[in-house]
Structure 1
């Protein structure tokens, strides 16, 4: 299993529609990347004063090859085009593998 973390940073002026993200965007991600090895995707919203990380998506893939397959798939264009519907923040990706 390999994790892909997608984080969004901002401040009190950054638009982020949590409802759209959890009810529309995450199902789109699962539909687009599921056939490539995405097993789960979950959203987290850190408690803060509104500055820094405003949202984190944890995507669990079968392995690193599955992440590459998903990211390089034609469906990724649709996933990325949807970002403008819920935020002005730019998503940042990072990976983690179990020790």
Structure 2
């Protein structure tokens, strides 16, 4: 699953918290559903609006659906305010082709 946050230069985003604290929380909440790893990427493009890309690797697509449907997901979502006021604009699953 890939989660992308967008914004401009005025948007608060704590990269360290995101990559360390938030990912640790996500792992504790979603590991039972097959979360194997979480990675942070911070794209840069002139005039671009993407602030971060979080790549959450699960053992199966069903695991993603189960994780997002679990009550623990509320803890992950409630934590977002601790590292950003950016808008999450895209949450996507990617399949091989």
Q: 1:59 to 1:49 in 2, by over 3 A?
A: same
Q: Which moved more, 1:71-80 or 1:51-60?
A: 51-60
Query: What's the Cα RMSD here?
Result: 1.2
**Counterparts of 2:80 and 2:47 in 1: how far apart (Å)?**
20
User: Residue 22 of structure 1: CA displacement?
Assistant: 1.0
Which of 75, 87, 90 aligns to 1:90? It is 87
User: Residue 89 of structure 1: CA displacement?
Assistant: 1.1
User: Residue 11 of structure 1: CA displacement?
Assistant: 0.5
User: Residue 49 of structure 1: CA displacement?
Assistant: 4.0
Residues 16-62 of structure 1: CA distance to partner in whole angstroms, max 9, x if unpaired?
A: 01111111001111111111011111000012347410100001111
User: How many equivalent pairs are there?
Assistant: 96
Corresponding residue number in structure 2 for 1:71 = 68
TM-score for both structures, normalised by structure 2: 0.92
TM-score for both structures, normalised by structure 1: 0.91
Structure 2 portions without partners, runs of 5+: none
Corresponding residue number in structure 2 for 1:8 = 5
